Amino acid sequence: MQNTLSLASMRRMTVISAIMLLALALAACGFQLRGAADLSFKSLYIQGGKLSISRDLSRSFKTNGVQVVEKSEDAELLLELLSESNQKRIQSLSGGGLVREFELIYLLNFRVRHASSPTWGPVQTIRGRRDFSYSDDALLGKAEEEARLNSDMRNDAVRELLRRLTAIKPAAEQK
């Protein structure tokens, strides 16, 4: 009876040790959940045409406590979405001249300015790139994969735009 108790307690100690070791490894590697962006402004006006990322971008601003306003006079920062484009290039061909790989490219051009400044900042470009294999035998599956990759690149562009906006200092600090 004593052996079974000590065996059960040994197993319990082993499980607890493994969990603690896993938690320590996660903490040591620098893993951290993605939190709210540290933006220096609380109101934003978005101008330019409606792009495919506009809805996700507005949702991200709302999540981060930034109000997207309807008039530029009410905003601390102005964001102009200039253009976006999706490109698809052939990456490689088979010996018979059939496409085997594509390269997908997503480009987003934008610029920002503080409401107190009359001049816009330089045009910035966010670029996303993905490669994917292609086969005519799996046409529907590959079309779905392409759509998912394009969606992922748009989501990455929204996160990158937020990261770039966190680097913007308040207008009072720039003088």
Two tokens at 101? 């790989």
Give the DSSP H/E element, type plus range, for residue 8. helix 2-28
d(CA 62, CA 40): 14
Q: What is the pLDDT of residues 114-157, one digit of tens each?
A: 988 899 999 999 999 999 888 888 888 888 999 999 999 999 99
| pLDDT band, residue 175 (cuts 50/70/90) | very low
**According to the model, what pLDDT value does residue 5 have?**
64
Rounded CA separation 2/30 (Å): 43
Strands (E), the chain: 43-48, 67-68, 77-93, 99-114, 124-133
- The C-alpha angle 7, 10, 16, rounded to 5 degrees, equals 145
CA distances, 70 to each of 41, 61, 77, 112, 161 (Å)? 16, 14, 12, 16, 20
The model's pLDDT over 44-88, given as tens digits with 9 standing for 90+, comes to 999 988 889 999 999 999 988 899 999 989 999 999 999 999 999
139-166 vs 54-63: helix crossing angle, rounded to 10: 40
